[in-house]
Amino acid sequence: MNKIGILGCGWIGIPLSNLLIKKGYSIKGTATSTEKAQSLLKLGIKSYCYYINNKNSLNSDFFKSIDVLVITIPFVKKNKKLNNLEKLINKLVKIIENESIKHVIYLSSISVYDSLNGVIDESIECKPKSYSGIQTLKIENLILKGNFISTIIRLGGLIGRKRHPIHSLTGNLYYNGGELINLIHQDDVLEIILKIIENKNTEDFIFNAVAPFHPSKKDYYSMIASKMDILPPKYIKTKNIKKIINSKKILEKYNFTFKRKDLLP
């Protein structure tokens, strides 16, 4: 189980590749352009050009001779709809089955819980109402039906390495100050994926991955803005939704401890 394919070498995929290479794994990775693929080669990643909406990419040699496939591609993006998404995912599943890939790790999103309130764990039935939540749940279900071991990781909002919501919020009007944050640092995402790969799951799992730190967005973003010496958002009072995504299951399964609970960038 030492050959890992990373479908989508971007903000998560590249540092994950670096971490796994240091651990002795052989890594294949994909990029959406020849230039990006060439840059991956310099990092020790056997690289391939791949674009989900390109029919030729679905037959790529990337999928051959790998044990674990990590899917980091954000198939569903805000305000951007991918045509024939279900058909494309079904084709991807079929290729995984044909290549006898043993284990698939899909980086999903807590957007599948968008209509829920309270403390949320993986046992609660998802009833998303947003386009992104509905499509993300559909992708999860298609992958889970595949003839291979699947691990679904429902990630909270991602921060770390120059990526943080405060950069788009500073000085602007913000309507959700009373809501609670459900974020996770990039460092912890990488460690969780490594733990899953090392433990070699023999059955399907769905895990939430959100740091156990849930102040109000107003308190949190005001604190981050102060530390960065930038303007905090301007808050408008709205109905407060107290949603907390519980990640206890993954902590217990892998004896995992979040290293970046403070959620500083």
**Mean predicted confidence (pLDDT) in 89-108:** 96
- What's the pLDDT band for 265 if we cut at 50, 70, 90? confident
d(CA 5, CA 193): 13
Q: Which amino acid is at 44?
A: G
What gap in Å lies between CA 167 and CA 16, rounded to an integer?
24
Lowest mean pLDDT among 77-91, 187-201, 238-252: 77-91
Tens digits of residue pLDDT in 133-192: 999 999 999 999 999 999 999 999 999 978 999 998 888 887 788 899 999 999 999 999
Residue 194, C-beta contacts closer than 8 angstroms, at least 6 positions apart? 16, 19, 20, 23
User: Can you give the length of the chain in residues?
Assistant: 265
Q: Which domains does the chain have, with CATH numbers?
A: 3-160+183-211+244-254 (3.40.50.720)
Average pLDDT over residues 73-91: 81
Give residue 80's pLDDT: 64
pTM of this structure = 0.94
Tokens read off for 221:
């973003």
Q: How far apart are CA 57 and CA 196, in angstroms?
A: 27
* Confidence class for position 56, pLDDT limits 50, 70, 90: low
pLDDT at 250 over 80: yes
Specify the pLDDT at position 54. 64
Instruction: Please name the amino acid found at residue 249.
Output: K
